Amino acid sequence: MAKNPPIWIIGSANCDYSIFAATLPNIGETVFGTSVIKAPGGKGLNQAVAVMRAGGQVQFYFARGQDDDGEFISNSLSELNLPYSAVLDDKLNTGCAYILVDNKGENQIVVVPGANFSTKLSEHNFADPAGWLVLQLEIGQLNNAALVAKAKQAGWKIVLTPAPASEFDRELLASVDVLTLNQSESAQISGMDNLEDAGISLSSQVETVFITQGASGVTVFQSGQLMGHISALRVNATDATGAGDTFCGYVVTSLAQGFDSLSAARLATAAAGMSVQHPGAVGSIPIRAEVEALMGSQTD
């Protein structure tokens, strides 16, 4: 495989409406918000931007509706200079996400998938040179199953972020090379509450597993073995939205460029730590030079 192989993200693109409030509402409770931000988002889009800013050879594929939100996303991607290809599905609305964020940076998210579930996404074909395919669970099980089968047959590496975990299909594990997921997702998918047990179990089925733990960092497993733990940066978190996607984009780019799993996790953890210090998802993802400069300053 080439030193900087293609990285394809076939995934979700949403119009994100981030609503900021002092506290998140409990069930049946109404709270006042302080501001609303409209921005491009979705796990697929966020990860594609992260790969681009990490220096990867990225191409983003997504589906959108023939509507204002879809036009907003396409225009935003063009402004970001992100290489992309949009499939138009005029039978569906563009996906939207409604994100509540409190003053500690914690969030609650409701996603309306819309065109993200368009079966037109599964029509992509894979050819030489073989690269890395990055998937999430926001485009539907049928799309993911079809794409994984095609990519695997063409010799591509498969990376999966199994979120939302409620949409996870265990049959995908047989074809996945890398999992990036958080601690609650690892427990839900493995059926094991203990993080180490979950990581060892999952990495016995998948070559490499990265389990993120927010402010506690990330633990890395490979081929059924615990490889190590990388501590997170100590930061004042403003908004955790997109931190996991930032981590995934950076870790995939690093692996594709030949980094070992712990070195990839170290770079990705620093990038994710920088991202939570700013509101929103796309706008908070740092560029590679900024991350490397911060890491260098901490080792001086």
Helices (H), the chain: 43-54, 68-80, 141-153, 183-190, 195-205, 243-256, 261-275, 288-299
pLDDT value, residue 51: 98
Residues of the chain with pLDDT under 50: 300
Locate 97 and state its tokens. 């996400």
Round to whole Å and give the CA distance between 108 and 261.
30
pLDDT value, residue 241: 66
Tell me whether strands 95-101 and 14-21 are parallel, antiparallel or unpaired.
parallel
Q: 6-13+42-94+113-299 architecture in CATH?
A: 3-Layer(aba) Sandwich (3.40)
pLDDT value, residue 299: 58
Round to whole Å and give the CA distance between 37 and 60.
23
All residues at 6 or more sequence positions from 220 whose CB lies less than 8 Å from its CB, including other chains = 208, 209, 210, 211, 226, 227, 228, 229, 230, 261, 262, 265
pLDDT value, residue 238: 64
Q: Rounded to 5 degrees, what are φ and ψ at 192?
A: -125, 125
Q: Are 101 and 239 in contact (CB under 8 A)?
A: yes
Average pLDDT for the chain: 91
Reported as a single tens digit per residue, the pLDDT across 187-231 is 999 999 999 999 999 999 999 999 999 888 999 999 999 999 998
DSSP states of 124-154? ----SSP-EEEEESSS-HHHHHHHHHHHHHT
Name the catalytic one among 16, 69, 89, 245.
Answer: 245
Please confirm, yes or no, whether 68 is among the known catalytic residues.
no
pLDDT value, residue 1: 53
pLDDT value, residue 190: 94
pLDDT value, residue 3: 72
Q: Taking the CB of residue 294, how many other CB atoms lie within 10 A of it?
A: 15
In the chain, where the domains are located: 6-13+42-94+113-299
Query: Degrees (nearest 5) of the Cα angle 243, 245, 247?
Result: 70
pLDDT value, residue 123: 92
Half-sphere exposure of 72 (CA within 13 A, CB side): 16
Q: How far is CA 237 from CA 64, 247, 272, in A?
A: 32, 15, 11
Closest CA to 87 of 146, 155, 11: 11
User: Which residue shows structure tokens 């926001």?
Assistant: 138
Locate 300 and state its tokens. 């001086």
Return the exposure string of 226-263: e unless at least 16 CB atoms fall within 10 Å of the residue's CB, then b: ebebbebbeeebbbbbbbbbbbbbbbbbbbbbebebee
